[in-house]
Amino acid sequence: MCKEIVRSPEFCGKLTFPVSLKQPGARDGTIQCFIKRDKSNLTYHLFLCLSPALLVENGKFLLSAKRTRRTTCTEYVISMDADNISRSSSTYIGKLRSNFLGTKFIIYDTQPPHTSANITPSGCTSRRFYSKKVSPKVPSGSYNIAQIAYELNVLGTRGPRRMHCIMHSIPASSIDVGGSVPGQPELLPRSLEDSFRSISFSKSLDHSVDFSSARFSEIGALREDDEDGKVRPLILKNKPPRWHEQLQCWCLNFRGRVTVASVKNFQLIAATQPAAGAPTPSQPAPPEHDKIILQFGKVGKDMFTMDYRYPLSAFQAFAICLSSFDTKLACE
């Protein structure tokens, strides 16, 4: 009955159920959120904006993340619980992992993407279950759904960071007229605890990627598969800022949603991808490719705004923004 009454965020622009966090955002307009950073315990909390004010202390809690520095990488564990942020919790829904330099990231989801996505399972390892609440019939996996790469600043020139994201779980055709994101989770007749878990499998799967230098070297290349049976993923790039002569700085128009200059600020748009029927230089790109899909910026000492829209979900947008918090000496 709820499924017939409550529409998904894509059409209503509201986050109603926990499953809405993994469904695409609104097509008409953006969903405005903010992130609170706590440097003392290395945690980040995502809230839904309930008022138009930038600096607010209250909001609807959505997701949380905890940063853990390891020998060869940095890992952000993402949870639906504000306090219990660990992989052993039943509210664990994914993670973000970086390479040693913090220039390349991989987003992992506990739920497998749609079957037509170009997901290459490698480095398969056994998945351990710590929580007694995890149902043995609904195993939790680790699926590579997106890759984020920041360009190295070899010359050391001043300027903003340059990044691009390869969204393996989102086809490039999703932003075209009549396009959609296949395989998104729906309201299912089961407990909210398992709302983000995958459908029953015969055995536990973990499609984690081996984090060696060879594996991360594959992220730098944009893999656009045009072969039969493969879907080209959506590729996002940061919108290039313009140089303001009077202010002597790089500027982006955040429409009042960002008030503090920071190298972490960014706006993501769809990258132009050559394909059959794609626009040529003499034929401008359609308006859908110029829309800002995700913007992130600083408004206070430990306060940041995050505005996203279709085809990204809140989980995907939050993970991308977390990558901006990581120190990137080689990119600045």
Domains located in the chain, CATH noted? 35-50+58-115+140-177+231-270+290-325 (3.20.90.10)
Mean pLDDT for the stretch of residues 248-277 = 78
pLDDT in tens, 4-47: 677 788 888 888 888 899 999 999 889 999 999 999 999 999 99
pLDDT band, very low/low/confident/very high, at 180 (cuts 50, 70, 90): confident
Residue 56 near residue 50 (C-beta atoms within 8 A): yes
Residue 266 near residue 331 (C-beta atoms within 8 A): no
Which range (86-100, 153-167, 210-224, 270-284) has the least confidence?
210-224
Cα angle: 83, vertex 86, 92; to 5 degrees: 90
The rounded mean pLDDT for the chain is 75
Largest CA distance in the chain: 63
Is the bond into 311 cis (omega within 30 degrees of 0)? yes
Q: What are phi and psi of 193, to 5 degrees?
A: -60, -35
Which residues does residue 98 pair with via DSSP β-bridges, in sequence order?
105
Which range (77-81, 207-211, 284-288) has the least confidence?
207-211
**pTM, 2 dp:** 0.77
Residue 142 near residue 127 (C-beta atoms within 8 A): yes
Q: What are phi and psi of 176, to 5 degrees?
A: -75, 165
pLDDT in tens, 283-326: 555 555 678 999 999 998 899 999 999 999 999 999 999 999 87
Distance CA 79, CA 68 (A): 14
% residues pLDDT > 90 (the chain): 35
Q: What are phi and psi of 111, to 5 degrees?
A: -110, 130
Residue 272 near residue 222 (C-beta atoms within 8 A): no
**What DSSP assignment string belongs to 181-200?**
-TT-----SS-GGGTTSPPP
Whether 138 has a pLDDT exceeding 70, the answer reads: no
